[in-house]
Amino acid sequence: MIELRKLASTASGEIVYTLTQKRPQMDRQTIIGKGKLQELVLQAEAYEADLIIFNHEMTPRQSQLVSEAVGIPTIDRVQLILDIFAMSARSKEGKLQVELAQLEYLLPRLAGQGKSLSRLGGGIGTRGPGETKLETDRRHIHDKIVGVKRELKAVAAHRVRNRQKRQTSEIFQIGLIGYTNAGKSTILNLLTQADMYAKNQLFATLDPLTKKWCLAEGFEITVTDTVGFIQELPTQLIDAFHSTLEESQVMDLLLHVVDVSSPDRILQEHTVLQLMKELKMSDKPILTVYNKADQIDPALFIPSLFPHVLISAKNKEGKEKLVEAIKRQLMELMEPYTLLIASDDGQRLSALCRQTLVLEKHFVEEKNSYEVKGFAKKKSRWIKK
């Protein structure tokens, strides 16, 4: 319920009253019992509410019955998340993905909504593809879904080509994953000076962004920020955002960012790991980054995932600790090499520094060459077969 409050706040909603009920099982028609429904009607009237938000996913019939009883629109957690995604989408692909998810979610809910869809609304639950599309018949919505899927396919193909380019160029790729609002964009900004939009709200980032990060040794890495996960992430969103989430599947190393100050930290970790399993990403090397250490007492911190690093992305010391932890992981994942580079082959030496992690470099006079020691990606052209 605390998370639902945060979601509503992100969607620019103001919570006027919260109602909870403990039941052995949910009411099939209205989720809450008859007595609670009467209480909901009275409280909605007393607080002059414009909208009811349920934390459970509702069937079209449940939503309709509660709306009719209370007399104001009723949405569930899924529609609220879709609404936030509609607000956050910036790129063409992001907007298409949100539109697809919303259309697929709203399609079975068209029946009996004639009255509520007869005019354009404002506020939570009305953003996105727009009511005009929903007023048309089902066939038109189906056609629209097919059209959006076709457009997404073309954008996804372009994304695949970009990924393949990065893979063939032997660039080491790091992906940021984690629960929403864990601090992924802040870490991207910390490492790459990306000037990415980072705010203390859920789903501030929707569109994946890849930036180049150059280590002090000269090694060039790409860092990709992705959409945050959330408990019970709607299936419509997983399907619609598949091409975006695929970005994480080709990474060489994943940084799992965890908000260490969250009271639900363990649950959030489990949610991310479960979603990674569903997306067939469990076999990827992961470094857990416990972020927001400035908000807890480090002496009382007990980690649950390994390998890990505890940092605060807000300070310089945090950056240093993170970079060192990443370097340790790089050395575990890469192969060591020792090469002799002729002193007049500056171009090769420069390429070696950019494409591998150089740890030692010294001039050998008798051979008129540089002896270089470091680590390179497995199957790299720098590794002698």
Feature table: binding site for GTP: 178-185, 203-207, 225-228, 291-294, 312-314
Helical (H) or strand (E) element with 324: helix 316-333
383 Cβ contact list (under 8 Å, min separation 6): 335, 337, 376
Which segments are annotated as binding site?
A: 178-185, 203-207, 225-228, 291-294, 312-314
Tokens 């790299």 — which residue? Answer: 380
Cis? peptide before 307, omega within 30° of 0: yes
Helices 77-88, 2-10: axis angle to 10 degrees equals 40
Please write down the HEC assignment for all residues of 190-214.
Answer: HHHCCCCCCCCCCCCCCCCEEEEEE
Nearest 10 degrees: CA dihedral of 375, 377, 380, 385? 60
Residue type, 112: G
What DSSP letter does each residue of 49-102 carry, written as one string?
-S-EEESS---HHHHHHHHHHHSS-EEEHHHHHHHHHHHH--SHHHHHHHHHHH
Smallest CA-to-CA distance from 88 within 182, 197, 9 is with: 197
Tokens 């890849």 — which residue? Answer: 210
Q: Collapse the DSSP code of 57 into the 3-class scheme (helix H, G, I; strand E, B; otherwise coil) and give the result.
A: coil
Q: Collapse the DSSP code of 371 into the 3-class scheme (helix H, G, I; strand E, B; otherwise coil) and give the result.
A: strand
336 Cβ contact list (under 8 Å, min separation 6): 373, 374, 375
Which segments are annotated as binding site for Mg(2+)?
A: 185, 205
Helical (H) or strand (E) element with 31: none
Residues listed for the chain: 385
Question: Residue 143 has which token pair?
Answer: 């056609």
CA distance 232 to 78: 9
Q: Collapse the DSSP code of 385 into the 3-class scheme (helix H, G, I; strand E, B; otherwise coil) and give the result.
A: coil
